[in-house]
Structure 1
Amino acid sequence: MKTLIGALALCALATAAAAQDKYTTGVDGTFAPHAFPKLGGGIEGFNVDLVEELRTRLGAEIELVATQWSGLLPGLAAGTYDFISAPTTITEERSENLLFTEGYLNTDFLFVVKAGTEEVTDLKQFAGKTIAVNKGAVYDSWARGLADEIGWTVESYGTNADAIQAVLSGRAVANVAGNTASAWAAKQNPQLEISYLHSTGLVWGMPLRKDSEALRQKLETAIECMKIDGTFAEMHEKWFGFTPPEGAAAVTPLPGWGQPGFAGYVDDGHEPSC
């Protein structure tokens, strides 16, 4: 009888462990180069590759759902998703309500210009120039807020693709957007090249619910190992066209759990290792 009870207990534990190794995550399936439709069906992108790496490293079954960005964080709160794999900027407000892994990519502003354009090392070199932006995006309000200081003219377009077309046609000298989207645009079009990078000091991390400490540690351990063994650098080169610089979030594992300086960060002596 004891043997039978012991076997049943082990079976129950194994079943519970298996259940814990099944997760659901979500991405915005229209945000290239992070997740976007591919020919023949399905999606591809940096964050799709990231989820595939997590499946392997965690030995877990992870269902990846592509949906609209607006539904991701509410879906996380409602329990539809266990974590979000779409790029999510870690902010003070979000960290008060969500648990974040450490950052894995910097979220900066990057200018795109025509190939062969003079190198820009200071924003004031854009004085007297026209800058094209996606109407209503954070880059739109940021550029307009600097219009008097820099002396540039800001033109807004319905989509960022239209703003980039303005650069190609000569209606604007540069387009400014998110660093990864801009790098992808330049990688896809040999008539373009990346230019000035404005650092925001912010990073993208993976949000979870506040009660998901154990899962955060699993995800973060995998993320740290991907930084240490060069996997993130390879993915960065593949999707963005350049190697992340020294000190970038993609190659810098951090001690503790979470992003230092934000709510939810735990400094328990943990040091990244594989």
Structure 2
Amino acid sequence: MSRKLMSLLILGVMILSLGLAGCGQKNATKTESKVLKVGAEMTFPPFEFQEEGSKEYVGFDMDLARAIGKQMGYEVQIQNVGFDGLIPALEAGNIDIIVSGMSITEERTKKVAFSKPYYKSGLSIVVKADNATIKSFKDLEGKNIAVQIGTTGAEEAKKIKDAKVREYNSNSEAYMELKAGGVDAVVNDLPVNEYYLAKSGDKNAKLLGDIMNAEEYGMAMTKKNTELTEKVNAALDELKKNGEYDKIHMKWFGKKAQ
């Protein structure tokens, strides 16, 4: 065989190999699973948190996010992001959706698109068990209040006349400050306060019956990603229809959704 013929034969084999590789890459791309990058702040039990000694993210929101991803046919990847950094992370494209006990507010809807509401909450107060002076939000005037930074609880606490509001990165830090006597009360979402008292067994703290500002939680996405918002809403509707949403609600709150 001549050297010229050998060269042409080798060239033909190489071209064929590259063509097959290209087809393989195209097929691989087609079969790759879609990924839904979920952002949440992991110090908000029972919605999202890490149990001691575990690296897994658990909670009502986390189970719901995974169920929605499964319903949509997406692989769910969860990222722990500080609450006040969630919307910036969404805007930067680092995450696709926020599932983090985020209340639907007028201010937030200017920046993001929310899903249909998936949970109804409200703000409540935790004080020391022997505190007889604070019985309502009105009694918080002039008091020291602990809140979690970036939450609606923090926003509302700042509106209380002459109150000294201290913001913490997590609600657990806020409760610790109450326990240490550094503040008179903690203002947070009702289910979060209820969960803390039940889980911690803290007999030195109590939940007041006064509830303020019934709120609805929504999942936040960018306004330009209307397709994702529609898919999430459709998945949420289906989970409520087939009973999966009620199962998750029962797991974390001991009752079906109202």
Q: What is the TM-score with the length of structure 2 in the denominator?
A: 0.67
Structure 2 match to 1:47: 61
2:47 matches 1:34: yes
- 2:81 aligned residue: 67
CA distance in 2: counterparts of 1:24 and 1:140, whole angstroms: 27
Question: Taking structure 1 as reference, are residues 165 and 23 closer, same or farther at Cα in structure 2, changes over 3 Å only?
Answer: same
Equivalent in the alignment of 1:202: 215
Deviations 1:58-113 (A, max 9, x none): 22112111122233211211222111122222222322232110111224112336
Distance 2:191 2:255 in 1: 12
Aligned twin of 2:231: 218
Q: Percent identity?
A: 22
1:98 partnered with 2:107: no
* Structure 1 residues 21-44: Cα deviation after superposition (integer angstroms, max 9, x where no partner): 322121112333322222232322
**2:193 is the counterpart of 1:182:** yes
Q: Measure, in 2, the Cα distance between the counterparts of 1:194 and 1:163.
A: 16
CA contact (8 A) 1:132 1:157 kept: no
Change (3 A) 1:130 1:96: closer
The separation in 1 between residues aligned to 2:66 and 2:46, in whole angstroms, is 16
Q: Report the AA paired with residue 47 of structure 2.
A: H
* DSSP-derived class of the 2:43 partner: coil
Q: What amino acid is aligned across from residue 255 of structure 2 in structure 1? A: T
Kindly tell me: are residues 202 and 20 of structure 1, through their superposed partners in 2, closer, same or farther at Cα, counting changes over 3 Å? farther
Instruction: Give 1 or 2 for the bigger CA radius of gyration.
Output: 2
8 Å CA contact 1:156–1:163 kept in 2: the answer is no
User: 1:28·1:66 contact (CA, 8 Å) conserved in 2?
Assistant: yes
User: How far did 1:143 drift?
Assistant: 4.9
Q: Is the 1:28–1:67 contact (alpha carbons within 8 Å) kept by the matching residues of 2?
A: yes
Q: Which residue of 1 aligns with 2:145?
A: 133
Letter in 1 for 2:63: D
1:23 partner SS: strand
Distance 1:213 1:32 in 2: 30
**Structure 2 segments unaligned to the other structure (5+ residues):** 1-24
| d(CA) in 1 for partners of 2:57, 2:38 | 14
- Alignment-mate amino acid for residue 134 of structure 1: A
Q: How many pairs does the alignment contain?
A: 225
Task: Summarize the alignment of residues 1-274 of structure 1 with structure 2, pairs less than 5 Å apart.
Answer: 15=29, 21-38=34-51, 39-112=53-126, 123=136, 133-134=145-146, 139=153, 142-143=156-157, 145-146=159-160, 159-165=173-179, 175-190=186-201, 191=203, 194-239=207-252, 241=253, 243=255, 246=258
Closer, same or farther in 2 for the Cα pair 1:130/1:107, shift >3 Å? same
Superposed structure 1 runs of 4+ greater than 6 Å apart: 11-14, 114-118, 128-132
Question: Structure 1 length as normaliser, TM-score?
Answer: 0.63
The CA RMSD over aligned residues, in Å, is: 4.0
Superposed displacement of residue 219, structure 1: 1.0
